[in-house]
């Protein structure tokens, strides 16, 4: 039963939202049903004027540090520039270690690298799991363990369905028949591979609410080892072919996918579920967010180029992508404002990874058979080689590491390799293959510009990520909150410092993050906490 003031608030809210909806940028945006606003719970009592009660965490995948610098300098009226007006920009922010989307997002959520959270790529290998579909004798899998782990759209029930075959909430679109098996013949979900807890789990254990959106149901990963970190995890399938969609190869289509994420995050900002429906006992989550793919997809397309010849200035396609995503960020900020939560909400905008190379003239597409064939020619048997702008190599027999390294180093330039990383140097960001069942034996840093692909003649991409060069790992980072003195902090920082920063902003104990504590757990400098 609405009291008089409550109704007035609801009507004002509705008016503001309709005004937002009428602006051209929002025209294609599906609004939550109007009745929802009447059921909106009253705003929680403010504890103090600008105490942070919510953190919106956004990854603009592919956004380099240089892209953000350019955007802030050239688009002073943009949503990101507005956030920077009460924010700290970190132009020297790097992803530690491998920059596939899996370790990229886990850096933000666990505060650690693959070394501590145990996850290397969406396509990796485990020495102690069995492949999906392995026959079981009673409760025991048959044959020896060891299987490539492909944790992407291939896990879904139905790729032709935009949500992967079920609702797309909390991993329900993952078909267990597509999962690897453990020693008891039980399916292993992506989140079970984590060896470190997440910020969501720490927030949950403090009784707070969490929500996240990502690009495949396989991002069940972000639930953390408990499988319970995220109250609402919304994962529409980016690789669906529903009604001829091809989000990841068509520049004009990918913003439509990002709009699904923007819609969910905006709905959470109002205290609703991802579709804008009131949810009893829900309220605005303490941590919510997700990622945008438009910048990343545009950078990977072979034509047109995403950057001018200097490899820094966004070309037309990238400008459009940046405008789209800036619009999504602005919309989310507007909804936070409509909900009256701006004084109590911090925004963290960063990128899980960049894309390499930015300079089209550096691009060198090499066949992904080169490295595996060089190993086999030297009598080394790889169990799995995962390659984009990197090679991750798991061997059948760990005693062949030296022979493998020798073969790769002997012909490094022809193989596209700048550095072969193994032994103690690899342990800086990866687990010990002698004890971790998922750790690779060797990782390469490629010659900047090298991208391994199935068929170079097809020119199927202009860039990718996963590797260890600057264009892969030197990414945007901006933290904004009410009352923050605007500044640029030029210290070298790592994106994994986002995890303790989120918790500290919320007044939670960041030393509860296990990966972060193993690798060093300093919240980002320069912020007034």
Ligand X SMILES: *[C@@H]1O[C@H](CO)[C@@H](O)[C@H](O)[C@H]1NC(C)=O
Q: How far is the CB of 14 from ligand X (least distance, A)?
A: 33
Nearer CB in complex with ligand X: 34/410:
410
Residue 192 and residue 225 in contact, taking contact as beta carbons nearer than 8 Å: yes
Neighbours of 74 (CB within 10 A): 13
Phi, psi of 464 (to 5 degrees): -165, -170
Q: Where are the alpha helices (DSSP H) in 26-113?
A: 35-38, 65-74, 79-84, 101-110
Residue 62 and residue 299 in contact, taking contact as beta carbons nearer than 8 Å: yes
Phi, psi of 306 (to 5 degrees): -90, -25
First to last CA, the chain: 39
The tokens for 478 are 């901006």
Q: Which of 3, 4, 48, 137 binds ligand X (CB under 6 A)?
A: 137
CB < 8 Å & 24+ apart, contacts of 158-163: 159/237, 159/239, 159/240, 159/241, 160/240, 160/241, 160/242, 161/237, 161/240, 161/242, 162/236, 162/237, 162/240, 162/242, 162/245, 163/217, 163/235, 163/236, 163/237
Nearer CB in complex with ligand X: 240/480:
240
Look up tokens 């790729």; give the residue.
159
| Site for ligand X contains 28 (CB under 6 A) | no
Footprint of ligand X on 234-253 (CB under 6 A)? 242
> Which stretch, 13-21, 112-120, 254-262, 408-416, contacts ligand X (CB under 6 A)?
408-416
Residue 35, burial from CB neighbour count under 10 angstroms (0-12, 13-18, 19+) = exposed
Residue 529, burial from CB neighbour count under 10 angstroms (0-12, 13-18, 19+) = exposed
Q: Is 294 left (phi over 0), alpha (psi -120 to 50) or beta?
A: alpha
Nearer CB in complex with ligand X: 309/410:
410
The tokens for 161 are 């369905």
Q: How far is the CB of 407 from ligand X (least distance, A)?
A: 7
Q: How far is the CB of 231 from ligand X (least distance, A)?
A: 26
Nearer CB in complex with ligand X: 86/411:
411
Task: Report the distance separating Cα 510 and Cα 133, nearest Å.
Answer: 40
Within the chain, how many helices (H) and strands (E) appear?
Answer: 17, 21
Q: Which of 12, 414, 425, 487 binds ligand X (CB under 6 A)?
A: 414
Nearer CB in complex with ligand X: 43/456:
456
Binding mask 161-200 for ligand X (x = CB under 6 A): x---------------------------------------
Nearer CB in complex with ligand X: 29/242:
242
Q: How far is the CB of 176 from ligand X (least distance, A)?
A: 16
Helices 316-338 and 65-74, interaxial angle, to 10°? 80
Nearer CB in complex with ligand X: 315/453:
453
Q: How far is the CB of 145 from ligand X (least distance, A)?
A: 15
> Which stretch, 178-186, 200-208, 295-303, 406-414, contacts ligand X (CB under 6 A)?
406-414
Q: How far is the CB of 267 from ligand X (least distance, A)?
A: 23
Nearer CB in complex with ligand X: 169/427:
169
Q: How far is the CB of 139 from ligand X (least distance, A)?
A: 10
Q: Is the dihedral of CA 489, 491, 495, 498 positive or negative?
A: negative
Q: How far is the CB of 411 from ligand X (least distance, A)?
A: 4
Task: Report the distance separating Cα 451 and Cα 467, nearest Å.
Answer: 10
Q: How far is the CB of 265 from ligand X (least distance, A)?
A: 24
Q: How far is the CB of 175 from ligand X (least distance, A)?
A: 11
> Which stretch, 154-162, 247-255, 433-441, 453-461, contacts ligand X (CB under 6 A)?
154-162
Q: Which of 370, 430, 479, 524 binds ligand X (CB under 6 A)?
A: 370
Q: How far is the CB of 141 from ligand X (least distance, A)?
A: 10
The tokens for 397 are 């027999």
Task: Report the distance separating Cα 357 and Cα 446, nearest Å.
Answer: 11
Give the count of residues interacting with ligand X (CB under 6 A). Answer: 10
Nearer CB in complex with ligand X: 152/519:
152
> Which stretch, 16-24, 110-118, 158-166, 299-307, contacts ligand X (CB under 6 A)?
158-166
Nearer CB in complex with ligand X: 162/330:
162
Residue 31 and residue 21 in contact, taking contact as beta carbons nearer than 8 Å: yes
> Which stretch, 47-55, 121-129, 156-164, 186-194, contacts ligand X (CB under 6 A)?
156-164
Q: How far is the CB of 519 from ligand X (least distance, A)?
A: 36
Nearer CB in complex with ligand X: 254/370:
370
Footprint of ligand X on 465-524 (CB under 6 A)? none
Q: How far is the CB of 242 from ligand X (least distance, A)?
A: 6
The tokens for 232 are 């609402």
Q: How far is the CB of 440 from ligand X (least distance, A)?
A: 22
Q: Which of 160, 361, 490, 511 binds ligand X (CB under 6 A)?
A: 160
Neighbours of 139 (CB within 10 A): 9
Q: Which of 50, 86, 158, 205 binds ligand X (CB under 6 A)?
A: 158
Look up tokens 């020693």; give the residue.
183
Task: Report the distance separating Cα 503 and Cα 262, nearest Å.
Answer: 23
Element at 443 (helix H, strand E): strand 442-446
Q: Which of 50, 320, 411, 482 binds ligand X (CB under 6 A)?
A: 411
Binding mask 193-232 for ligand X (x = CB under 6 A): ----------------------------------------
Sites of contact with ligand X (CB under 6 A): 137, 142, 158, 160-161, 242, 370, 410-411, 414
């Amino acid at each position: 039963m609405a009291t008089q003031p409550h109704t007035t608030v609801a009507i004002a809210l509705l008016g503001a939202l309709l005004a937002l909806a009428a602006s051209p940028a929002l025209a294609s945006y599906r609004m939550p049903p109007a009745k929802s606003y009447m059921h909106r719970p009253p705003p929680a009592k403010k504890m103090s004027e600008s105490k942070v009660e919510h953190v919106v965490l956004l990854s603009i995948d592919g956004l380099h540090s240089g892209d953000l610098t350019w955007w802030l300098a050239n688009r002073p009226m943009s949503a990101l520039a507005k956030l920077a007006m009460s924010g700290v920009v970190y132009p020297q922010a790097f992803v530690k270690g491998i920059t596939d989307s899996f370790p990229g997002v886990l850096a933000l959520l666990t505060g650690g690298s693959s070394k501590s959270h145990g996850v290397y790529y969406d396509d990796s290998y485990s020495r102690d799991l069995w492949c999906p579909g392995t026959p079981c004798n009673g409760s025991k899998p048959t044959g020896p363990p060891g299987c490539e782990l492909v944790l992407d759209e291939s896990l879904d029930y139905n790729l032709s369905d935009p949500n992967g075959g079920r609702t797309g909430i909390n991993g329900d679109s993952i078909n267990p028949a597509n999962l690897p098996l453990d020693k008891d013949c039980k399916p292993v979900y992506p989140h079970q591979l984590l060896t470190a807890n997440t910020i969501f789990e720490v927030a949950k254990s403090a009784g707070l609410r969490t929500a996240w959106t990502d690009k495949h149901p396989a991002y069940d990963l972000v639930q953390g080892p408990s499988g319970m970190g995220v109250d609402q995890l919304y994962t529409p399938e980016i690789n669906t072919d529903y009604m001829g969609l091809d989000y990841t190869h068509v520049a004009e289509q990918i913003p439509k996918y990002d709009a699904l994420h923007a819609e969910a995050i905006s709905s959470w900002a109002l205290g609703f579920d991802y579709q804008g429906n009131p949810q009893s006992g829900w309220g605005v989550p303490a941590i919510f967010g997700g990622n945008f793919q438009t910048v990343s997809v545009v950078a990977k397309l072979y034509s047109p180029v995403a950057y001018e010849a200097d490899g820094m200035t966004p070309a037309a396609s990238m400008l459009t992508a940046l405008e789209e995503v800036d619009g999504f960020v602005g919309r989310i900020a507007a909804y936070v404002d409509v909900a009256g939560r701006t004084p109590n909400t911090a925004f963290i905008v960063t990128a899980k990874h960049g894309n390499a190379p930015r300079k089209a003239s550096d691009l060198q597409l090499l066949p992904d058979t080169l490295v595996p064939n060089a190993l086999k020619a030297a009598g080394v048997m790889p169990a799995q080689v995962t390659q984009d702008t990197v090679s991750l190599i798991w061997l059948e027999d760990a005693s062949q590491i030296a022979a493998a390294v020798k073969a790769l180093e002997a012909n490094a330039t022809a193989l596209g390799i700048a550095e072969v990383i193994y032994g103690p140097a690899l342990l800086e960001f990866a687990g010990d293959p002698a004890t971790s069942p998922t750790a690779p034996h060797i990782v390469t840093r490629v010659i900047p510009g090298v991208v391994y692909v199935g068929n170079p003649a097809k020119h199927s991409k202009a860039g990718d990520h996963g590797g260890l060069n600057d264009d892969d790992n030197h990414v945007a980072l901006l933290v904004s909150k009410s009352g923050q003195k605007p500044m640029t902090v030029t210290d070298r920082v790592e994106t994994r410092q986002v995890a303790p920063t989120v918790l500290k902003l919320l007044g939670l104990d960041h030393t509860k993050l296990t990966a972060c504590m193993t690798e060093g757990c300093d919240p980002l400098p320069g912020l007034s906490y």
